[in-house]
């Protein structure tokens, strides 16, 4: 099978090495990248054509295009052109599948070409295939997990060392674990795209990514890890999506957010840049998948595995259960206990003011924690709330936040598992 | 697609329910079982033919046979006859794949029929597909895990409660978690069959099951959990297979045995009847899969998932990397620290006698532990040994075991991770 490679960055180079080193009947025919003169490397044999023109990949000598440039445009145009030219496609592009997966998968099925996207979610963990095929016999109700390795690297460092958010971010950037602009990772948009892909294949639900609430990990401080530990928890960026029991698959709970997870739980045990995906099925119960969620090599393994699956099959699978293309409604119905951390200029009456505001919103305080040794002009303390829906908690926080004793806006995290 | 069901026990009944309830284009045509009159149930529609004759499943109205009777014979004959009649086969039969998988997979490929065995290993966890396809782009070096839910149920109960082996076994049998004859589970033969299947698909190594050492969990006592905890460990039945670095895939380390695993490690966190499979790949690093390893429903989910995959594909995969059919050599080369538990009639000189015997075999003692409160005529204590190959440790134990102070034969467990 003749394979053309679109994109020659870290992942693209790792894919090229794997294809060239594979004993399977695969031939690398093209490498397409901008400024190809600067990209050429001597370990690629001279039989491979270098090009800057995507159209060169559409000729009869190419069977499959591997797209590892990422982003919505021009990647989406390239996908459509490749499928129209009856090329199979393998991609690591989570944003494209999250935003346009319904249309692109339908086009691929119409044209009878293979379309693989194992690498789009959780890097080297073969979770797409596991959910789409291995759990096809079950009916999944919930998918959750840790889908962003950068956040997890940062949070596990904050957990292990007493180190500020800014310092750990600077260090992660210096080491290449975080990008110069870390917005997509820290604010949840990267994990959200992966969650939307998982919801599509596992719950057969189309989510508009913008509908899924994302809460950033940026407001976290080292004091949050201190209080979390006091409570028997730690903090992870958790993604979850779950069908409402009465929603007929048309309404879900979904969010990407930092959350308190029990120390020793499976979520808490995901360290460094690892990823974890948990599924809950009606008949098979909880099933979990973990491993290296990012990086050139694990992602390239996922790409090559898709390429090999396609090479083994003369035709693509005839059908998959597909998501209803009408976007599902996202609505937070599930009640969680919450952790509410405030930093205040201490004075009498603060707890009373908080308690009154919370009571007005029918939220019950479970506990108030205050560690010693903090200055009175910037005193962090924590209130935990009994289970309640997030929108109700947010409404209370909106009322509390303008009170004059705050040094910064309160931070609210759900307490899961 | 027309599906015939061979075997109508717990798993077979769950499979029948799933097929009958599926919205996929599947028709259940036959149910074949001994003493079919006693098996008939009213929830199976009258369109399904009940039979005691396997040959009835070989007619033109059957596309796929699901075999859930287990065992080597007659299952092996039925598989061969089904494949010869160009029927696709889906099975949960780990023993058959472990012992005769090479031949049967080759026959299926020759006849151009699908052959699915996701349900043969780790019940509802889609690990066969994940390894065979999802990690196909990597080169796996090691597979390990917890593959027997009965042992894990018993060991986690002994860990949590101070309860004797015999009591927990009787309770497990009463609750249906262990069979009346628990030999296959307790002595490791069930896990070994699964390990051989994983070695075949993941490491491309053919193992003769009888070549893989199995050590029983029967000699374990509650005191082992007390000493393990003192050392920061707990005990699990661990299966592992690993290619020797210089073996060219022709020689492996492999065993199924109770082992000390670090408290809090991923192995220690597998509870009850759950299973876990860990793979280590050259490029993707460690990847893990966990979930419900047994039971009618999870196994039936795996069967139905295979059936659906086959229904989606007009033809089976053209090729898989196959294991060399010559059995690999199994040889314990990896050095582990070991836990050696003795029960003695206390008298002076015991430690000296042990230390001398161990020294003669060039084994170094790491620590000696003795909890108080045990009777002197039956005193359990523990010696931990620095890393050494198991065969050398066994040789030393053979010399130590006949010494006159033992109340029972010493128990030796490797300390892993």
d(CA B184, CA A19): 43
Q: Is the pLDDT of residue B57 over 80?
A: yes
Give me the DSSP letters along B45-92.
-TTSEEES-GGGGGSTT-SEEEE-S-SSTTHHHHHHHHHHTT-EEEE-
A79 and A188 within one domain: no
Structure tokens at B48: 């399904």
Output Rg (C-alpha) for chain B, integer angstroms: 24
Report the gap between the CA of B26 and the closest CA in chain A (Å). 12
Could you tell me if residue B309 is inside a domain? no
Could you tell me if residue A19 is inside a domain? yes
Q: Do A312 and B320 touch (CB under 8 A)?
A: yes
- CA A293, A299, A303, A305 torsion-angle sign: negative
Catalytic option among A94, A194, A262, A347: A194
CATH number at residue B43: 3.40.50.720
Nearest CB to B301 within list A138, A291, A320: A138
A233 and A153 within one domain: yes
Instruction: Say if CB A217 and CB A154 are below 8 A apart.
Output: yes
Tell me, what's the pLDDT at B332? Answer: 87
Question: Domain range holding B108?
Answer: 2-116
Q: How many domains does chain A have?
A: 3
Report the gap between the CA of B132 and the closest CA in chain A (Å). 9
Structure tokens at A222: 């080292």
Name the residue among B154, B178, B189 with its Cα closest to residue B272: B154
* SS percent in chain B: helix, strand, coil, step 5: 35, 25, 40
The residue from A292, A324, A345 where one domain ends is: A292
Looking at B279-336, list the stretches that DSSP marks H as alpha helix, in order from N- to C-terminal side. Answer: 296-312
Whole-model pTM? Answer: 0.95
List chain A pLDDT tens, one digit each, 417 residues: 999 999 999 999 999 999 999 999 999 999 999 999 999 999 999 999 999 999 999 999 999 999 999 999 999 999 999 999 999 999 999 999 999 999 999 999 999 999 999 999 998 899 999 999 999 899 999 999 999 999 999 999 999 998 999 999 999 999 888 889 999 999 999 999 999 999 999 999 999 999 999 999 999 999 999 999 999 999 999 999 999 988 777 899 999 999 999 998 999 999 999 999 999 999 999 999 999 988 889 999 999 999 999 999 877 877 666 677 889 999 989 999 999 999 999 999 999 999 999 999 999 999 999 988 899 999 999 999 999 999 999 999 999 999 999 999 999 999 997
Could you tell me if residue B100 is inside a domain? yes
Could you tell me if residue B152 is inside a domain? yes
Q: What is the pLDDT of residues B74-84, one digit of tens each?
A: 999 999 999 99
Tell me, what's the pLDDT at A111? Answer: 94
B252 and B399 within one domain: no
Residue in chain A closest to B117 (alpha carbons) equals A134
Task: Kindly list the residues from chain A whose CB atom is less than 8 angstroms away from the CB atom of residue B314.
Answer: 314-315, 318
Residue in chain A closest to B286 (alpha carbons) equals A291
B135 and B73 within one domain: no
Tell me, what's the pLDDT at A139? Answer: 92
Tell me, what's the pLDDT at A315? Answer: 79
B71 and B21 within one domain: yes
Q: Is the pLDDT of residue B12 over 90?
A: yes
Nearest CB to A291 within list B285, B298, B309: B285
DSSP, collapsed to helix, strand or coil, labels residue A292 as strand
Could you tell me if residue A347 is inside a domain? yes
Task: Kindly list the residues from chain B whose CB atom is less than 8 angstroms away from the CB atom of residue A20.
Answer: none
Which pLDDT band, with edges at 50, 70 and 90, does B249 fall under?
confident
Among B283, B288, B314, which would you mutate to test the A interface (most chain A Cβ atoms within 10 Å of its Cβ)?
A: B283
Between β-strands A335-344 and A406-416, what pairing exists: parallel, antiparallel or unpaired?
antiparallel
Structure tokens at A150: 């950068």
Q: Do A309 and B130 touch (CB under 8 A)?
A: no
Which residues, other chains included, contact B59 with Cβ-Cβ below 8 Å and sequence gap of 6+?
none
- C-alpha distances in Å from residue A68, one per residue of A12, A92, A202, A311: 6, 6, 24, 19
**DSSP tag of B366:** E
Instruction: Say if CB A102 and CB A206 are below 8 A apart.
Output: yes
Residue in chain A closest to B136 (alpha carbons) equals A305
d(CA A137, CA A118): 19
**DSSP tag of A130:** I
A255 and A136 within one domain: yes
Tell me, what's the pLDDT at A316? Answer: 81
The residue from B116, B143, B158 where one domain ends is: B116
CATH number at residue A166: 3.30.360.10
Tell me, what's the pLDDT at B354? Answer: 95
* Biggest alpha carbon–alpha carbon distance for chain A: 78
Residue A201: how many CB atoms within 10 A of its CB? 27
Residue B367 has φ and ψ, to the nearest 5°, of -155, 155
Tell me, what's the pLDDT at A389? Answer: 95
Going edge to edge, which strands form the sheet with B64-67? B49-51, B27-32, B2-6, B64-67, B88-91, B115-116
d(CA A191, CA A145): 9
Structure tokens at A161: 């060392």
d(CA B118, CA B144): 17
Q: Do A302 and B134 touch (CB under 8 A)?
A: yes
- CA B392, B395, B400, B401 torsion-angle sign: positive
Could you tell me if residue A303 is inside a domain? no
Q: Do A266 and B264 touch (CB under 8 A)?
A: no
- C-alpha distances in Å from residue B241, one per residue of B249, B278, B287, B415: 11, 11, 15, 16
B153 and B70 within one domain: no
A276 and A156 within one domain: yes
Task: Kindly list the residues from chain A whose CB atom is less than 8 angstroms away from the CB atom of residue B318.
Answer: 311-314
Tell me, what's the pLDDT at A368? Answer: 96
Give me the DSSP letters along B214-267.
B--STT--HHHHHHHHHTTEEEEEEEEEEE-TTSTTSEEEEEEEEEEEETTSTT
Tell me, what's the pLDDT at B247? Answer: 75
For residues B388-402, give the mean pLDDT: 96
Nearest CB to B287 within list A118, A124, A266: A124
Structure tokens at A304: 């090559």
Task: Kindly list the residues from chain A whose CB atom is less than 8 angstroms away from the CB atom of residue B234.
Answer: none
Instruction: Say if CB B177 and CB B321 are below 8 A apart.
Output: no
Name the residue among A271, A214, A240, A252 with its Cα closest to residue A333: A252
Could you tell me if residue B121 is inside a domain? no
A104 and A134 within one domain: no
Q: What is the pLDDT of residues B181-225, one digit of tens each?
A: 999 999 999 999 999 999 999 999 999 999 999 999 999 999 999
The tokens 């190594």 sit on which residue?
Answer: B205
Could you tell me if residue B222 is inside a domain? yes
Beta bridge partners of A291: A275
B132 and B101 within one domain: no
Tell me, what's the pLDDT at B372? Answer: 87
Which residues, other chains included, contact B49 with Cβ-Cβ below 8 Å and sequence gap of 6+?
B29, B30, B31, B56
Name the residue among B29, B10, B296 with its Cα closest to residue A137: B296
A63 and A28 within one domain: yes
CATH number at residue A346: 3.30.70.260
B91 and B148 within one domain: no
The residue from A116, A137, A155 where one domain ends is: A116
Tell me, what's the pLDDT at A35? Answer: 94
Task: Kindly list the residues from chain A whose CB atom is less than 8 angstroms away from the CB atom of residue B266.
Answer: 269
Name the residue among B96, B265, B115 with its Cα closest to residue B194: B96
Give me the DSSP letters along A227-281.
HHHHTTEEEEEEEEEEE-TTSTTSEEEEEEEEEEEETTSTTTT--TTEEEEEEEE
Q: Do B283 and A301 touch (CB under 8 A)?
A: yes
Instruction: Say if CB A68 and CB A43 are below 8 A apart.
Output: no
For chain B, give the mean pLDDT. Answer: 94
First to last CA, chain A: 46
């Amino acid at each position: 099978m003749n394979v053309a490679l679109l994109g020659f960055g870290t992942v693209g180079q790792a894919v090229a090495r794997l294809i060239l080193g594979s004993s399977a009947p695969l031939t690398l025919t093209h490498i397409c990248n901008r400024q190809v003169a600067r990209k050429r490397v001597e370990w690629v044999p001279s039989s491979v054509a270098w090009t800057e023109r995507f159209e060169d990949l559409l000729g009869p000598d190419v069977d499959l295009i591997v797209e590892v440039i990422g982003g919505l445009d021009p990647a989406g145009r390239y996908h459509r052109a490749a499928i129209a030219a009856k090329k199979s496609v393998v991609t690591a592009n989570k944003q494209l599948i999250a935003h346009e997966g319904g249309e692109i998968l339908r086009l691929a099925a119409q044209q009878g070409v293979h379309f693989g996207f194992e690498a789009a979610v959780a890097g080297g963990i073969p979770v797409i295939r596991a959910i789409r095929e291995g759990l096809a016999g079950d009916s999944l109700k919930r998918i959750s997990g840790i889908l962003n390795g950068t956040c997890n690297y940062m949070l596990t460092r904050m957990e292990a060392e007493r180190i500020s958010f800014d310092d750990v971010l600077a260090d992660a950037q210096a080491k290449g674990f975080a990008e110069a602009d870390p917005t997509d990772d820290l604010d949840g948009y990267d994990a959200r795209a992966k969650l939307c892909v998982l919801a599509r294949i596992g719950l057969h639900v189309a989510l508009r990514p913008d509908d899924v609430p994302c809460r950033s990990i940026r407001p976290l401080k080292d004091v949050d890890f201190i209080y979390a530990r006091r409570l028997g928890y730690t903090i992870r960026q958790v993604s979850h999506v779950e069908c409402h029991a009465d929603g007929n698959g048309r309404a879900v709970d979904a969010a990407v957010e930092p959350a308190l997870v029990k120390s020793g739980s499976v979520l808490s045990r995901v360290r460094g840049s690892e990823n974890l995906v948990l599924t809950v099925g009606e008949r098979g119960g909880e099933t979990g998948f973990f491993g290296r969620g990012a990086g050139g090599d694990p992602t390239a393994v996922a790409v090559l595995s898709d390429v090999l699956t396609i090479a083994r099959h003369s035709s693509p699978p005839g059908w998959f259960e597909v998501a209803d293309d009408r976007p599902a409604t996202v609505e937070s119905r599930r009640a969680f206990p919450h952790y509410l951390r405030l930093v205040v200029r201490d004075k009498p009456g603060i707890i009373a003011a908080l308690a009154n505001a919370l009571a007005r919103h029918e939220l019950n305080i479970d506990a108030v924690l205050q560690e010693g040794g903090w200055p009175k002009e910037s005193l962090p303390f924590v209130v935990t709330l009994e289970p309640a829906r997030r929108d109700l908690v947010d409404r209370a926080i909106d009322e509390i936040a303008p009170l004059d004793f705050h040094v910064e806006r309160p931070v609210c995290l759900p307490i899961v598992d």
